[in-house]
C-alpha cells in the first residue's frame, strides 16, 4: 500500500484509549478538535487506540462513545480500531527497514540496563547508545542466531527537531536529547508513537489537536513521518486542565467520568460551553451554543498555559442553562435521569409556579428532586440539625395559633399570597418575630430550612396536608 496523499482538507481526529473513562480533560480536547473541524468545514475522525489489550475494557469504550454523543459530537469517519491495523503497521516497519530509515537492534534487556547505568553514572540522560545502528565505516557485530530483535528508527544525530505548534509556537528539541527509539517490539507489536503516525498518515489528518502532555512524543512522530516521506500535520497542543492548586487534575478535583456529571444533573449545553471556555476565548463572550462554537472556534483563541478547573464556574453555567429550559423540558430531563415525574405540577397554576421557583434556585437537575422531596413524599425526611435547633425550641402556642387560622381559611382563600400574609399576621399578633414562626413551619412542611415561599408551599400541599404536617411538632 502506498502512502496516501497529503490532506487537501481540514481533518482532525480524537483518539482515546479504552483503558479508562473519558474525563473532562479528554472531553475538552475532543471538543476543541471537533469545533475546529466544523468551523473550517472539515472532517472529524474517531480512532480507538486499543492496543493495550491487558487494560482495555468494553465498558470504557462504551462510556467514551456515550460521553461524546451526550456532548453533541458527531464523527464523520470511524471509529477505527488499531488492533485491526497490525498488518499495515508491519508493512511500513518492513518498508523502513528496506529503505534504511530503521534497523534491527539485538540488544538484550541486560545490555540496555547496563547502558542506562553507565549514562546515569556519567550524569547523562539515559538513552540507547546506537550499538546496532549502521553508520559509514562502522562494523556491526554479527546478529545472534535466532535472537529476538526490535526495530529502531534512525533519529537525527545533530541539529534539532522543530515543532511549529499552532498554540505553543516554535518548540525545538535538540537531536542530542533524542535516541533511536523503538518502532516495533521483539514480539512484532508496534509501539504507540509508530501506530499514531501510521494512522495519522493513512487517515490524512491535517491537524492534531491534543493535550500538552503529548508534546514530548511529537518530535518522535515527526521523525517517523519524515522517514516515511510525509509532511507532518499541524500540531496544536492544548495546555493541561489543572486543579485549583495548579496540580494535575485528579479524581479528587473533578477528573471523573463525563457521564458522572450528567448523572449529577449537569446539562450537556452547560458542560460544552464551560469546557469550550476552559482555556479558549472569543473576545469577552461567555455564553456559546454548540452551533456557534462550531462556527467561530479557532486555535488562535487558545491560551498557552494551564487552565484551572473551577466547579463553581461550571455550576454557574449549569444554572444559566437550567433557567433557559422550558418546564416541559425540565420535567422530561428529571424523569429520564431520576425516574421522578413532576408532570402533575403542570396541571395547576400553583404547581407551575412551584416549578418556576425551583428552576430559579436550581444549580443541578437533581436539585429539583431534593428541593421538592417535601412535595414528592408524604413524610419527607427532616434535617436533623433543623429539628434540634428549630423544632425542639419552637413555641407550640404560635404553631397552634397558625393552625387555627389555617383551619378557618376557606378554599377560595387558599392562595400563596394570602397564606404567606397569614403567617406574618399570626407572628405579629403574638408578639413574635417572623423567623420564630416561619422557620419551624418551613421545617414541618418541607423537612428543612430551604425552599420557595412558605405561602406557595402551603398552596401546593393543600389544606389537609399542610395541617397534618403542622400537627407533627415533636
Catalytic annotation, residues: 251
Q: How many CB atoms are located within 10 Å of the residue 30 CB?
A: 28
How far the first Cα of the chain sits from its last, in Å, is 82
| CA–CA dist 149, 128 (Å, integer) | 14
Cell numbers representing residue 22 in the block = 473519558
Strands 207-211 and 102-105: unpaired
| CA–CA dist 377, 359 (Å, integer) | 20
Angle at 316 between CA 372 and CA 23, to 5 degrees: 95
Please, are residues 273 and 288 in contact by the beta-carbon 8 Å criterion? Answer: yes
| CA–CA dist 382, 282 (Å, integer) | 47
| CA–CA dist 466, 443 (Å, integer) | 12
242 phi and psi angles, rounded to 5 deg: -110, 160
Distances (CA, A) of 412 to 418, 459, 470: 10, 11, 21
Cell numbers representing residue 349 in the block = 397554576
Please, are residues 419 and 409 in contact by the beta-carbon 8 Å criterion? Answer: yes
Cell numbers representing residue 345 in the block = 405540577
| CA–CA dist 321, 329 (Å, integer) | 11
Task: Kindly compute the dihedral angle of the four CA atoms of residues 369, 370, 374, 377, in this order, to the nearest 10 degrees.
Answer: 60
Strands 160-165 and 150-153: unpaired
Kindly give the interhelix angle for 463-470 and 434-446, rounded to the nearest 10 degrees: 110
Q: Which residues pair with 172 in a beta bridge?
A: 162
b/e map 225-243, b = 16+ CB within 10 Å: bebbebebbbbbbbbbbbb
Map residue 210 onto helix, strand or coil.
Answer: strand
Of 49, 44, 47, nearest in space to 76 by CA: 44
Q: How many CB atoms are located within 10 Å of the residue 473 CB?
A: 16
Amino acid at each position: 500500500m502506498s502512502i496516501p496523499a497529503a490532506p487537501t482538507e481540514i481533518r482532525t481526529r480524537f483518539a482515546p484509549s479504552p483503558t479508562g473513562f473519558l474525563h473532562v480533560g479528554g472531553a475538552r480536547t475532543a471538543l476543541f478538535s471537533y469545533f475546529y473541524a466544523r468551523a473550517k468545514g472539515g472532517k472529524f475522525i474517531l480512532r480507538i487506540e486499543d492496543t493495550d489489550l491487558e487494560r482495555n475494557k468494553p465498558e470504557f469504550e462504551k462510556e467514551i462513545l456515550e460521553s461524546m454523543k451526550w456532548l453533541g459530537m458527531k464523527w464523520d469517519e470511524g471509529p477505527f480500531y488499531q488492533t485491526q491495523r497490525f498488518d499495515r503497521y508491519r508493512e511500513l516497519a518492513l518498508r523502513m527497514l528496506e529503505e534504511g530509515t530503521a534497523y534491527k537492534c539485538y540488544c538484550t534487556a541486560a545490555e540496555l540496563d547496563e547502558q542506562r547505568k553507565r549514562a546515569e553514572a556519567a550524569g547523562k540522560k539515559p538513552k540507547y547508545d546506537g550499538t546496532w545502528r549502521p553508520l559509514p565505516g562502522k562494523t556491526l557485530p554479527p546478529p545472534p542466531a535466532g535472537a529476538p530483535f526490535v526495530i529502531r528508527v534512525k533519529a537525527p544525530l545533530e541539529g534539532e527537531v522543530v515543532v511549529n505548534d499552532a498554540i505553543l509556537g516554535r518548540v525545538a528539541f535538540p537531536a542530542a536529547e533524542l535516541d533511536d527509539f523503538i518502532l516495533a517490539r521483539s514480539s512484532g507489536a508496534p509501539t504507540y508513537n509508530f501506530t499514531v503516525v501510521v494512522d495519522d498518515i493513512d487517515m490524512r489528518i491535517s491537524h492534531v489537536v491534543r493535550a500538552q502532555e503529548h508534546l514530548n512524543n511529537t518530535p518522535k512522530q515527526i521523525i517517523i513521518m519524515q522517514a516515511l516521506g510525509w509532511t507532518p500535520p499541524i500540531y496544536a497542543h492544548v495546555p493541561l486542565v489543572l486543579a485549583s492548586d495548579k496540580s494535575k487534575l485528579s479524581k479528587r478535583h473533578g477528573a471523573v467520568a463525563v457521564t458522572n456529571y450528567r448523572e449529577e444533573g449537569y446539562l450537556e449545553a452547560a458542560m460544552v460551553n464551560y469546557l469550550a471556555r476552559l482555556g479558549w476565548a472569543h473576545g469577552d463572550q461567555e455564553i456559546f451554543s454548540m452551533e456557534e462554537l462550531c462556527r467561530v472556534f479557532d486555535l488562535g483563541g487558545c491560551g498557552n498555559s494551564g487552565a484551572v478547573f473551577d466547579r463553581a464556574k461550571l455550576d454557574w453555567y449549569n444554572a444559566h442553562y437550567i433557567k433557559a429550559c422550558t418546564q416541559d423540558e425540565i420535567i422530561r430531563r428529571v424523569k429520564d435521569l431520576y425516574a421522578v415525574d413532576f408532570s402533575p405540577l403542570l396541571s395547576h397554576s400553583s404547581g407551575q409556579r412551584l416549578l418556576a421557583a425551583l428552576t430559579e434556585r436550581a444549580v443541578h437537575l437533581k436539585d429539583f428532586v431534593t428541593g421538592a422531596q417535601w412535595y414528592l413524599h408524604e413524610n419527607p425526611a427532616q434535617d436533623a440539625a433543623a429539628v434540634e435547633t428549630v423544632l425542639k425550641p419552637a413555641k407550640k402556642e404560635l404553631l397552634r395559633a397558625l393552625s387555627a387560622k389555617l383551619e378557618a381559611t376557606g378554599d377560595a382563600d387558599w392562595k400563596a399570597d394570602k397564606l404567606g400574609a397569614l403567617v406574618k399576621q399570626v407572628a405579629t399578633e403574638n408578639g413574635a418575630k417572623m423567623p420564630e414562626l416561619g422557620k419551624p413551619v418551613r421545617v414541618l412542611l418541607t423537612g428543612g430550612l430551604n425552599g420557595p415561599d412558605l405561602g406557595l408551599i402551603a398552596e401546593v400541599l393543600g389544606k389537609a396536608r399542610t395541617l397534618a404536617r403542622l400537627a407533627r411538632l415533636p
